Structure 1
């Protein structure tokens, strides 16, 4: 139970479920030897379907912007900037209810010591390929019929990583509740043949 564990966590900065799960994972990290490697993915890419209503497709196209900003920051400044940038963006989007616009993104970038020109990625496709590569890594592990977040950790011995969509949880478990959920997830990941556990959200 006390062995160090590496976790790969894919998030979309606009997704409230990703945000909740990421705060739970940080709560676990405060209490257990867990190393989190942050990656970006996109709900807009997951849900790209020409049969969706036009207004919804437009919303998804605009939602792609913050994910591209994260991909740009990682490409230019390294993996280590993703966690702090996600926290800065998510605090503004999900806790303060600020708009997902350039002004909010620039403030988050400044807080992380990153150049505000990275906000150009909101409307530029210069880092689209980097976003798609990171996104593809998640769905290669978890499948393309998932959502965000995707969490990957070691599976049964000799099998490499296993990945899950979720856990989807709200409110964020704290203290020992957070650790119990973590232990449950790691036991499921270590079970050969385990794939899915789900119930409807009420």
Structure 2
């Protein structure tokens, strides 16, 4: 029992150190906690009109193992223009469907821990196509700690068949150690 506690403590400390580094690297990106994202997801499930979009910015093999339900997949292996274009298309569709343009539309992005999603947000806010949209009620947030933090906190995830699962693709051997061992997917 004590071994699992110290292991979790080391994983938590490592996560904090890495998140601080990501925050410093992408200091202009606004982070949001998993608690706040969960609240939006829970609030939106009771209405026909969700006031958020959720994007998963990882590779297909990672997304297929698990993702947050309702997340739109953005393939990290694609070019910058393809990724920005894919996000723009989904955002524009949602904004044209929205009758009440006065309400903000929150865009939450996540990856394994937050680096790739922060990098994409950094690209989006510099993109000319988003310039007008960003002046409206559109806000981008990086979900701090990504899907690793989400699942380590016991929040639900689904696989490619939309069945609940407890496993997350570890991205690689180093970053996978930030996942609690019980959540690490093994190929």
TM > 0.5 fold call: no
Instruction: Give the TM-score of the pair, scaled to structure 2.
Output: 0.30
TM-score (norm 1): 0.28
